[in-house]
Amino acid sequence: MTLRSITAALALAAGLAAPAAAHVVLDQAEAPAGSYVRLAIRVGHGCGGAATTALRITVPPELQGARPMPHPGWTVSAGGAEERAGHGSHAGHAAHHGGHHAAASPGEIAWTGGRLDDAFFDEFVLLVRTPAEAGGVLAFPVVQECEGGKVARWVERAANPGERVAYPVPLLRVVPKR
């Protein structure tokens, strides 16, 4: 093996390992334009050993009708509507079926009041309608709050391709519908 092929192999391995090294990520990197898509925000661990107690996601303004899935043991809020998982009304139900208008998404969706131990992972789910046109990359800034007042802000975006950042923002590329 030449030095060049070893370097290329190491670069490829580092690139493939990057998603595994991330701690709060989307379950998929791409979604088709003009579609309803289920997205899961995966939380791989707490903050420096402390359990996660809240997750706040900024919804990209390009999305329509983003709605959170209730999560057992957590309180979910979106655009002012709040519901304890398994209880309450469907206030905040924004999207409509049958070709009707889908309302704008809330600016933030939050799951609070639960506890996710650092030793475990979990997923927090959204249903979104992607923009009609392909080609964009949408950022989902996440603030992870943990016991003891610890906070992890997953909001950093690399300035250059391949650059690593400490707290990468989850990204979703909008691709053409197949």
pLDDT tens string 115-125: 999 999 999 99
Of 59, 32, 58, nearest in space to 131 by CA:
32
pLDDT tens string 43-65: 999 999 999 999 999 999 998 88
Q: For the chain, what are the domain ranges?
A: 22-175
Q: Which ranges of 24-177 would DSSP assign to H, the alpha helix? A: none
* Stretch 136-156: mean pLDDT: 96
pLDDT tens string 151-173: 999 999 999 988 999 999 999 99
* Stretch 15-39: mean pLDDT: 77
Please tell me what DSSP assigns to residue 87.
S
Contact 78, 68 (CB under 8 A): yes
Q: Does the predicted model carry a pTM greater than 0.85?
A: no
CATH class of 22-175: mainly beta
